[in-house]
Structure 1
Amino acid sequence: MIPALRVIIHMGGLHRLFPFWLVGLGLVVFDFQLWMLAAIAYGVVIQWFNEYLIHRFIYHRKPPTAQSPFNRLYRSHIGHHEFPQDEEFFTGDDHWFPLRFAAGSFAAHMLVLWPLLGFWLAAKVAWVALFVGSASAFAFYEYCHTLAHLNVTKGRFGRWVTREHMAHHYQDHHATFHVTAGMGWIDRLFGTAHSPAKARERYDRRTMMSIGMDPEDLRLVTARKAYGISKAPRHIA
């Protein structure tokens, strides 16, 4: 637990969300109303789905053919698959993305809630849901993800999280897109739960670490050089 916390307290995305989370926590503590519990629960569920959808449809989208957008995808996720224990690749390099995403979601919720609840109540509902509920769930996601990748002694919880997430990295990158502990139901809901039979059928030792791409693909080689990496990752047995 402690090694994972040491990593996530330095994550830029969490730093940028923290002041907004603190304001939301203040609202909950000093102006508590029962609806806030429902708002927090809603925000948590929204983040669970965001986690899955972003991982599956943005990070695992078809790799761009143009080098510049490919480099961005490499830095945000492909590099993490090639070097899964490198802390530099635990998160992408755009540390403002979580805050921009939360701000956009806040604006969208305000457009829906303002006519129904009035400006100030709509703002409080959206703030508590997104900057307390969703942001807290996002921090827990980062903790689970970091714990899964750290090579440290782990208890039962850590072994469980690691076993589930490593199936995505080392057995079948087409499945198991959830990371947060206990969220396997989302993969089952969308038909991407881990299947040992499908994993064996799809498994390709040479391309597993590069999520299906030839590890000598020029785009990969160029992206590695752009980020100071001189060689392809070590293949797994």
Structure 2
Amino acid sequence: MKATLAILISMGSLHRLFPFWLAGVAALVYWFSPWLILAIAYGVFVQFVVEYAMHRFLFHREPPTDQGPFNDLYRSHIGHHEFPNDPEFFTGGDHWYPVRFGLISFVVHGLILWPFLGFGTAVLAAYVALFVGSVSAFAFYEYCHTLAHVNVPKGWFGQRVTRSHLAHHFQDHQAIFHVSFGMGWIDHLFGTRHDPAIARERFDPDTIRSMGMDPEDLRLVTARKAFGITKVPRGKLTRQQVTESPTPSA
């Protein structure tokens, strides 16, 4: 628990979201209404859908041919698959992205609700839904994801989360796109649940960590070099073991 929380506390995206979450909790308490509980539930649900959709359609999209966008994808997800136990790759490099995404969603929801609820109620409901409900669900996702990758003693909950998510990493990267505990239904709904027979058919030990790409692909080699990685990651090598050693000073 301590090791997991230490990584969570250091996450830049959670740092940036925390003031918005705190303001939402204050607004919830000050203008409390039972309807705001429904808004929170909606925000949680929306975040879980976003978690699945972004993981499947953004992070596991066809790798870009241009090196710049490819490097961004490497930093945001491919690097995590190549070095799944490296906390630096647990989140993308743009820690402001969740804030921008949340603010855009807040404006869109507010505009949609305004004609039905009035301006003040629409703003309150949208803010509480997204910056209390969705941000709380996002923090839960980050907790589950970090717990799955950290080598610590785990109880029933941790074992379930780890077994599910690591099957995505090491058995079939084209399945199990949910991460948060209890969200397996969404993979069942959209046809991406874990099927052992299909996983065995798809499995390639040489490409499982590079998400189906040739590990020697020039785009991968170039992206790795941007992070000082000079060797193809194989087996259980850590990023430190495949990172170029600093040149000794004369």
> Does the aligned pair in 2 maintain the 1:209–1:235 contact within 8 Å?
no
Distance (Å, rounded) in 1 between the aligned partners of 2:27 and 2:107: 19
Q: RMSD of the TM alignment (CA)?
A: 0.8
Q: How many angstroms apart in 2 are the aligned matches of 1:232 and 1:114?
A: 53
Identify unmatched segments of 5+ residues in structure 1: none
Aligned to 1:221: 221
- Separation in 1, partners of 2:95, 2:228: 20
Q: Residue deviations 1:111-145, cap 9 Å, x none?
A: 10111111111000000000000000000000000
Q: Which moved more, 1:55-64 or 1:5-14?
A: 5-14
Partner of 2:240: none
SS in 1 for 2:112: helix
After TM superposition, give the deviation of residue 31 of structure 1 in Å: 2.1
Q: Deviations over 1:17-51 (max 9, x none)?
A: 11110011011222211001100000000000000
Aligned counterpart, 1:2: 2
User: Which amino acid in 1 is paired with 2:192?
Assistant: T
Runs of at least 4 residues off by over 2 Å: none
In structure 2, what is the Cα distance between the partners aligned to 1:2 and 1:43?
28
Residue 85 of structure 1 is matched in structure 2 by 85
Query: Which residue pairs with 2:159 in the alignment?
Result: 159
Give the equivalent residue in structure 2 for 1:104. 104
Structure 1: distance between partners of 2:29 and 2:119:
21
> Which residue in 1 is equivalent to 2:241?
none
Pairing 1:44–2:44 present: yes
TM-score normalised by L of structure 2: 0.93
The one-letter amino acid paired with 1:220 is: L
Q: Cα offset for 1:2?
A: 1.9
Instruction: Output the amino acid matched with 1:87.
Output: P
Instruction: For 1:8, give the aligned amino acid.
Output: L
Residue equivalent to 1:140: 140
Measured in 2, the distance between the counterparts of 1:38 and 1:217 equals: 48
Confirm or deny that 1:54 pairs with 2:32: no
| Counterpart residue type for residue 98 of structure 1 | P
Please tell me whether the aligned partners of residues 144 and 161 of structure 1 are also in contact (alpha carbons under 8 angstroms). yes
**Further displaced range: 105-114 or 46-55:** 105-114
Structure 1 distance, partners of 2:4, 2:230, is: 28
What do residues 170-227 of structure 1 show as CA deviations (whole Å, max 9, x unaligned)? Answer: 0000000000001000000000000000000000010000000000000000000011
Take 1:11 and 1:31, find their aligned partners in 2: how far apart are those partners? 30
Partners of 1:70 and 1:14 in 2: how far apart? 25
Matched to 1:30, the amino acid is: Y
Equivalent residue pairs, number: 236
Alpha-carbon distance in structure 2 between the residues aligned to 1:151 and 1:231: 24
TM-score (norm: length of structure 1): 0.98
**Equivalents in 2 of 1:156, 1:117: separation in Å?**
43
Report the Cα distance in structure 2 between the residues aligned to 1:235 and 1:60, rounded to whole angstroms: 22
Contact 1:206 1:235 (C-alpha < 8 Å) held by counterparts: no
Superposed CA deviations along residues 75-121 of structure 1, whole A, max 9, x for unmatched, are 00000000000111000110001101101110110110111111111
Per the alignment, in what secondary structure is the counterpart of residue 214 of structure 2? Answer: coil
